[in-house]
Chain A
């Protein structure tokens, strides 16, 4: 898991311009924000709903705004950030299209990452008649925070439909980059996108 997070962080960091501004939507305990601040000297804010995570961010000295993402990003103006990050959060939000529109509105560019439900191990689990549990999907079906189940192919279709241009894509499995049969071999997909308008 640690390997995976680091590879994930590193892939995103490649897309971050030093000294730019960055908003991490669903920033959790601020681990990525702390990493990227040190790495790229960026000006960062996080958005998070969970009390304990907000507390962890404050303890790290990060800027964090507590709010529910289902309500959108009304506190933030259009194109007010160089980069908006939605890291492994998309699958936890009911209003999928709304949040994607919102990050594309607020960010000049965005990073979207999510666990790929079409990974071969998940396919086998389902074939065997059980919901998948893996490193990228570590929850039981009855206590998962994930409310949306999507695959790499699904995301690319939706991105196209709602006017997001895919600028770049990195697919990972076990911390390593996957360069072929991504939808089968990748467990985590990371996209760099922007609004097509």
Chain B
């Protein structure tokens, strides 16, 4: 087996891009990682779209020693085999891992964009990704794949650029957020915006970060990514105690339960590497996503022009993006007589399942990409 052949790119786009909001934005830069080798006719490219807090670093180990966020699925000899496919990971515009975002310096002011960074949509992201495809001279992706918010981007690719995507793989996603989902995002944003260190988004100038707000935002989000059963299994009601300590309550508000300790750890870790403005921005991108909106709420119509073949996957214990939401996408595709397969994986891990090892899930992806490859030979 050959190596990943990882290439890191920092692509500059000088021409401003038209945004859905009506604003224009640019110039901007996107951080990109690629794996594998693009074949002569450019037919083996796979675009991987990331969700809320991930990046262009999809597979392998980077210079900081960090493993790619979808390394269990993508790599040499893996389900999406980089010996067969040229895989592209893009850090989305507005994110905080090397692409232009709220932390970047606005050339007009010489200061970080902060709250002046434009509010984006999934469509805007896909339009920026299309420019990356052009950069690599990829006319048509063999597949665009993503989970959660990444799945929304894959779906949008099929809608906006029907003839530039052969297969669309939408995992643990939905055609829009439910009121409950928007509500969770609002709680997260409120936590950040009410942190005294937020300074209306311009905290960089004050040399502080609203990490208390970010921590709470992450805690809320994280709970919604897990299933009740999964949390019961992982933590139960176990108290945080050393081996020889008594199991009595301490009657205090310090960390008593294991689950509290876990959440605090997740919150702390997250607040150290994630930008608060990016969190606001990306949760808003999620809220706004609704391809049926332009068709009076009719998803059937919104998908009428797609040409891609679809693989839609959901997980039974995912309550943030429940199987019923995936079935809406499947139904709209079926009503249009589009090519679609749908699998409902009985996995215990809630929404997070799309990032985890599950043999049924992974075998399915492997079989699907194996078939795409055989179809090309």
Contacts and interface: CB of A to CB of B under 8 A. Distances in A.
Given A21-B337, A60-B371, A65 B360 contact: no
A66 B334 contact: no
Given A43-B337, A65-B340, A67-B344, A58 B311 contact: yes
Contacts of A62: 341
A75 interface: yes
B341 A75 contact: no
Contacts of A80: 334-335
A100 interface: no
Contacts of B344: 66-67
B339 A63 contact: yes
Given A55-B363, A61-B371, A77 B340 contact: no
Interface in B301-354: 311, 327, 330-331, 334-335, 337, 339-346
A54 B337 contact: no
A51 interface: yes
Interface residues on chain B, size class = 20 to 34
Contacts of A77: 334-335
A83 to B, nearest CB: 14
B335 A61 contact: no
Nearest to B312: A65
A45 interface: yes
B198 to A, nearest CB: 44
A69 interface: no
Interface string B152-185: 0000000000000000000000000000000000
Nearest to A67: B344
B338 to A, nearest CB: 9
Contact of A55 (B346, B364, B375): B364
Interface range on chain A (Cβ under 8 Å from partner): 20 to 34
Contact of A66 (B337, B342, B374): B342
A66 to B, nearest CB: 5
A104 interface: no
A66 B343 contact: yes
A77 B335 CA distance: 7
Q: What is the predominant secondary structure among interface residues of chain B facing chain A?
A: helix
A75 B331 contact: yes
A58 B341 CA distance: 7
A76 B327 CA distance: 11
B341 A76 contact: no
A181 to B, nearest CB: 42
A1 interface: no
Interface in A64-115: 64-67, 75-77, 80
A75 to B, nearest CB: 5
A152 interface: no
B370 interface: yes
Given A51-B360, A75-B331, A58 B343 contact: yes
Contacts of B334: 45, 65, 75-77, 80
A45 B340 CA distance: 8
B360 A55 contact: yes
Contacts of B340: 45, 63, 65
Contact of B343 (A45, A54, A75): A54
Given A59-B371, A75-B334, A64 B341 contact: yes
A57 interface: yes
Given A65-B341, A75-B327, A75-B330, A58 B375 contact: no
Contacts of A67: 342, 344
B172 to A, nearest CB: 14
Contacts of A65: 330, 334, 340-342
Nearest to B334: A75
A62 B342 CA distance: 11
Nearest to B367: A59
B364 A58 contact: yes
A67 B339 CA distance: 17
Contacts of B367: 55, 58-59
Contact of B341 (A21, A43, A51, A57): A57
A59 B375 CA distance: 11
Nearest to A52: B360
Contacts of A61: 371, 374-375
Nearest to B375: A61
Nearest to A60: B371
A80 B339 CA distance: 14
Nearest to A77: B335
A129 to B, nearest CB: 40
B274 interface: no
Contact of B370 (A21, A51, A57, A59): A59
Interface in B244-286: none
Contact of A63 (B341, B364, B370): B341
Nearest to B360: A51
A58 B371 CA distance: 8
A96 to B, nearest CB: 24
A97 to B, nearest CB: 24
B368 interface: yes
Given A57-B341, A61-B371, 6 more contacts: A51-B346, A55-B360, A55-B364, A59-B371, A64-B342, A66-B343
Top 3 A-B pairs ranked by shortest CB distance? A59-B367, A61-B371, A65-B342
Interface of A: 21, 43, 45, 51, 54-55, 57-67, 75-77, 80
